[in-house]
Structure 1
Amino acid sequence: MAFIKCLLILLSVVFTHAIYAVQPDVLLAKVYDESKHGNIEDYLVSEKFDGVRAIWTGDKLITRKGNAINAPAWFTTPLPPIWLDGELWIARNKFALVSGIVRTKIPNNHDWQSVVYQVFDMPDPTLPFSARYKSYTDLVAGLNTAHIKAVKQHRFENTQLLTHYFKDITKQGAEGVMLHLASAVHKSGRNNTLLKLKPYLDAEALVIEHLPGKGKYTGMLGALKVKTASGQTFKIGTGFSDAQRQTPPAIGSTITYRYHGLTKNGLPRFASFLRVREPL
């Protein structure tokens, strides 16, 4: 009997993992280019929150990759049986903190008290984003709970007003802005209906080698040799603290780096280490 009980528990765990390891159909952003996306009045614009993407399936919180997020019951209880998309967020420049809290298998109630679910969409393939914005705003207002908030969207008549908003919030520490085509129905994948504008670009790469440091960095990391998903390899030698140079990101780990455009050879210009991208 005990063996059967253990087997049932094991099967339950495997089955649950199989369900939530499936990636949800989410909308992904492309990079905003004024020369291609000049009709600013057609977009609703919001702050880009540097948190952990979280999809509420109607009964579970999962990541972009489909993995379960172990939030406390009190955190998810107010959420309705409706598909929502949003970001688990604490504050500007607090990504590492919220990422650590979200990855914890056994949720710490005290830590989760600081987390807010910033809802920015209520996916529906039949409704334009302008209607979905009203829907999720009304829904969140009806929940009347402090840890679930509706992301405010703005309209701008021209790029000058957008630029003013962008500069204002990034000076305050915001990661950037998101532009969502107001007339677009929800469609999964990366397309031009959702755009991101940041003061720098960022991307991910696989660590393939530790290169030794010289001078004051002798005996420590000098640079990481990394490889992108497209197979390009290059070095990243800046952005590390002394502690990170002493204990660098492991070979085989994924890191996020920031850069400012591409060189004529298609490599990231002024690439700088940002953080280790923990699996979610």
Structure 2
Amino acid sequence: MTHYCRVISTTTLSLLLLLLTISPYTKAVEKPHIQKSLSFSKGAIKKQPEQNSDDISHYYVSEKLDGMRGYWNGTQLISRGGNLIKTPMWFTQNWPQTPMDGELWLGRNTFQLLMSCIKRRPIVEDQQSSCWANVRFMVFDLPKYNHPFSKRVQQMQRVIQNTKSHYLQMIAQEHLPTLAALNSKLNTVIAMQGEGLMLHLASAYYQVGRNKALLKLKRFDDAEATVIAYTEGKGKYIGMMGALQVKTEQGVVFKIGSGFSDDERKNPPAIGSIITYKFNGLTQAGVPRFARFWRIKRAE
């Protein structure tokens, strides 16, 4: 009995060590306290002081990057879920002690490649052959710099200029005069396979949680749901998954039958996994309209 317990203990320890070795994340000491955006609407703009529905000049506008949210606490890079993100040593070399909020980014329409790079083990330290050589940490805010966003933009520029790192950059921030100009900018970004835009009120302070002064503008809504069942495919999809049955955090259950590649239908997301889907508003019953699969939920 003693020998059996010793074997189980040794095996369990080996498995734990293996998981720690292959996992792209390690639980951090503290989950970062970050601000989150609300969806853009003309009403949100009109509620701001000294503005009308055609004036967005009090906002900074930047591209909404389709990457992985990251938080640099001054010494470590942490995911929004509170996990340490393992990178090559040279990736964060010379980064400042200033806390920075940003996005790990590989380029437009490259989310899956980015996640594959982040999860790849072992980490390749050779800069010439590492996939991390093309990744950038795009800074969009300074959480601990207690000034209006306009001042934080100036400070971000100084921080980036004073940091000798090829992998640390700042998201471009600009002013646009009208909603027509904003819509034109959005069309340009979408045409280049971008995700959308972010609007940040210049006078706003960093606010943990949902911030009315931080707005996201996209051509579609997106949300997350848990996979709870499958339905069998028909016609050319016989023998494959036809649709996912999913459940939202609010308890709404519905099916998603579009947006999948043939490979994804042959190898659908596992029961219990969390997926991200696109949709166009809600029905009166609270069910997403025209829901279609987008991807497996990004890592926390």
- TM-score, normalization: structure 2? 0.85
Q: Equivalences for 1:217-232 in 2 at 5 Å?
A: 217-232=237-252
Offset at 1:105? 5.3
Instruction: Select which of 46, 55, 74 maps to 2:71.
Output: 55
Structure 2 vs 1, CA of residues 47 and 279 (structure 1 numbering), >3 Å: closer, same or farther?
A: closer
Partner of 2:43: 35
Identity of aligned residues (%): 41
Cα 1:145–1:279 shift into 2, 3 Å: closer
Q: Hey, what does 2:230 align to over in structure 1?
A: 210
- Gaps spanning 5+ residues in structure 2: where? 1-12
Further displaced range: 196-205 or 117-126: 117-126
- Structure 1 residue 138: deviation in Å? 1.3
Q: 1:181 offset after TM fit, Å? A: 1.2
Question: C-alpha displacement at 1:148, in angstroms?
Answer: 1.3
- The one-letter code sitting in structure 1 at the alignment partner of 2:106 is I
| Structure 1 residue 21: Cα displacement | 5.6
Counterpart CA distance in 1 for 2:70 and 2:26 is: 17
1:268 partnered with 2:288: yes
Other-structure match for 2:192: 172
SS in 2 for 1:206: strand
User: What root-mean-square deviation, in Å, do the aligned CA atoms of Structure 1 and Structure 2 show?
Assistant: 1.8
Larger displacement relative to structure 2 (193-202 or 105-114): 105-114
Give the counterpart letter for 2:293 in structure 1: F
| 1:275 partner letter | R
Match of 1:152 in 2: 172
Kept in 2, the 8 Å contact 1:124–1:185? The answer is no
Write the distance in 2 (CA, Å) between the matches of 1:54 and 1:106: 21
CA contact (8 A) 1:101 1:107 kept: no
Paired residues, number: 267
In the alignment, is the contact (CA less than 8 A) between 1:70 and 1:105 conserved in 2?
Answer: no
Aligned-partner Cα distance in 2 for 1:195–1:35: 12
TM-score (norm 1): 0.90
Partners of 2:122 and 2:83 lie apart in 1 by 15
Q: Distance in 2 between matches of 1:77 and 1:233?
A: 46
Q: 1:80 aligns with which of 91, 96, 100?
A: 96
For 1:3, the equivalent position in structure 2 comes to none
Asked if the contact 2:68/2:298 (under 8 Å) is kept, the reply is no
- Given that 1:43 and 1:179 are in contact with CA atoms closer than 8 Å, whether structure 2 keeps it comes out as yes
Distance 2:219 2:84 in 1: 32
For residues 134-173 of structure 1, what are the alpha-carbon distances to aligned partners after superposition, in whole Å with 9 as ceiling and x for unaligned? 1011110222433211111111121111111111111111
Aligned residue type for 1:42 = H
Misfit runs of 4+, over 2 Å = 103-109
Supply the distance in 1 between the matched residues of 2:122 and 2:101 (Cα, whole angstroms). 23
Does 2:296 correspond to 1:279? no
Q: Please list the CA deviations of residues 9-59 of structure 1 after superposition, one character each: whole Å capped at 9, or x if unmatched.
A: x9xx9xx956x1632100111100112224412211100000011100000
What SS class does the counterpart of residue 223 from structure 2 fall into? strand
Aligned partners of 2:61 and 2:197 also within 8 Å: yes
Distance (Å, rounded) in 2 between the aligned partners of 1:104 and 1:68: 15
- The equivalent residue for 2:259 is 239
Distance 1:77 1:42 in 2: 36
Within the candidate set 96, 99, 119, 1:103 is matched to 119
Partner-residue secondary structure (3-state), 1:35: helix
Contact 2:32/2:82 (<8 A) preserved: yes
TM-aligned CA deviation for residue 278 of structure 1: 4.4
